[in-house]
Amino acid sequence: MKSRAVVLSLVLAGAVGAVAATAASAQAATGCRVDYAVTNSWPGGFGASVTVTNLGDPLTGWQLSWTYAAGQTVTQLWSGVVQQSGAQVTVTNASYNAALPTGGSATFGLNGASTGSNPAPAGFVLNGTSCTGAPAPSSPTPTPSSSPGSLPCDIYAAGGTPCVAAHSTTRALFGSYTGALYQVRRSSDNTTRDIGVVSRGGVGNASTQDGFCAGATCVVTVVYDQSGHGNNVAYQGPGGAGGKDTPATATRETVTLGGYKAYSLYINPGNSYWRNGSASGVATGSAPEGVYMVTSGTHVNGECCFDYGNSETDRRADGAGAMDAIYFGTSCWFGGCSGSGPWVQADLEYGLYPGGSSSWNPNQRAFTSKFVTATLKNNGTSRFAIKGSNAQSGGLATLWDGSLPPGYSPMKKQGAIILGSGGDCCATNTNLSAGTFYEGAMVAGYPSDATENAVQASIVAAGYR
């Protein structure tokens, strides 16, 4: 039996630029220390103790991640919740050690398996940010509200096109947001629980969901609006928004944002969400608006219609221009498409438009990456634009920026919000789509290209993995 200890000091910086800070790091502690000690070992296995000490502002929840370099795996862990994907290990606080005051520590233990050497991790990530050195100098810690542009809805507001609806199961979209992101319901007793953020402007608190849903099946019943307009979207079934569809399973997919575990809204055929009636502040008639969402290029189909955006208040196909929503999938509505998608298109009702007409737009391209950014903006009378990108890197590609299709000027938007189905929801042919929703927002006004580019930079900085 032998023991060995490694002490690593980690400095967690706050927001470092208008669009470079992630949601998690914006409210992370300015410094921490991690003590990782192998306490015993045996052929093929080892035990370890890990202590994280907060050297900065108080934390109300934490996640610690590291990478094993020699194929080690965690087989048992106590005083926390562990998830391992390949070499990466993420430990989320238990309910009783979530709070870390300044100078406070939390310790958890683990047993692991090894096949030979057992080097200690070379570094750690706490609450989404990783760096090494001494604690940061004592100066005011930047906050999302003092770093305008750090999160998508901060950026839109700074550009004069404020968010009027903002939805996500993974993170806050405003630097000041401290409320609930979504609600889950468990099968064992039909009780519900709101899932909030780990810290102000931060990532969703996956540990709350894990504890509540342990040993039961959970579904997502509501995705809350972070904008303050009350535009929550609920599943379109009995007890939800009053339609026929069912809620999505809450535990189907996990992702990480800068090392922080979060859950997606993983929509399969028959799942969809809707804002019942006309939403507050959302564009109607020919008023201009913009929409963005982060989705997945690997969970798609060609059925109608994986949409997010402006829709009919009566759930009926009410004519050309009654919708203004992003569509993402492999449907080629009018034919003539190039390749097999998936593509970012505009659902304007009575058609999924790849550009300004029913002819296939040659500038369209497929987005097959795990995470995809899609944007749509419409001035309501003459012009609309569609853009897309890998959400992990690079800038937005303009797929269309020009006139509205014939018959769609002026637009006749009704101001409801749809997520995961077509506007005439719950008919036999509009709720068969599949797709994943991570985050998205609708804004008042026609966003500038610079604003949209800054939003994309913020999404990349969030570190979806």
303 as an active site residue: the answer is no
The rounded percent of the chain whose pLDDT value lies above 70 is 85
The answer on pLDDT for 205 being more than 90 is: yes
Least confident range from 121-125, 282-286, 322-326: namely: 121-125
Cα separation, 364 vs 261, whole angstroms: 33
The answer on pLDDT for 276 being more than 50 is: yes
* Residue listed under structure tokens 């969400």: 273
Q: In the prediction, which pLDDT does 183 show?
A: 97
The answer on pLDDT for 430 being more than 80 is: no
439 as an active site residue: the answer is no
Least confident range from 5-9, 15-19, 59-63, 167-171: namely: 15-19
Q: In the prediction, which pLDDT does 58 show?
A: 77
* Contact of 291 with 377, CB cutoff 8 Å: yes
Q: In the prediction, which pLDDT does 12 show?
A: 32
Q: In the prediction, which pLDDT does 95 show?
A: 86
The answer on pLDDT for 161 being more than 80 is: yes
352-404 pLDDT per residue, tens = 999 999 999 999 999 999 999 999 999 999 999 999 999 999 999 999 999 99
Q: Which of 424, 439, 449, 452 is catalytic?
A: 424
26-37 pLDDT per residue, tens = 334 456 788 888
The answer on pLDDT for 189 being more than 70 is: yes
Q: Which of 57, 307, 318, 349 is catalytic?
A: 349
* Residue listed under structure tokens 């998508």: 152
Least confident range from 91-100, 146-155, 288-297, 446-455: namely: 146-155
Cα separation, 33 vs 11, whole angstroms: 8
Q: In the prediction, which pLDDT does 431 show?
A: 83
The answer on pLDDT for 221 being more than 60 is: yes
Q: In the prediction, which pLDDT does 272 show?
A: 93
**Region 257-264: what's the mean pLDDT?**
91
The answer on pLDDT for 314 being more than 80 is: yes
The answer on pLDDT for 206 being more than 90 is: yes
Q: In the prediction, which pLDDT does 170 show?
A: 98
**Region 258-280: what's the mean pLDDT?**
88
Helix (H) or strand (E) holding 192: strand 192-196
Average pLDDT, the chain: 86
Q: In the prediction, which pLDDT does 105 show?
A: 83
CA-nearest of 349, 345, 276 to 316 is: 349
Q: In the prediction, which pLDDT does 278 show?
A: 66
Least confident range from 105-119, 230-244, 346-360: namely: 230-244
The answer on pLDDT for 111 being more than 60 is: yes
Structure tokens at 77: 């862990």
Is the overall model pTM greater than 0.85, yes or no? no
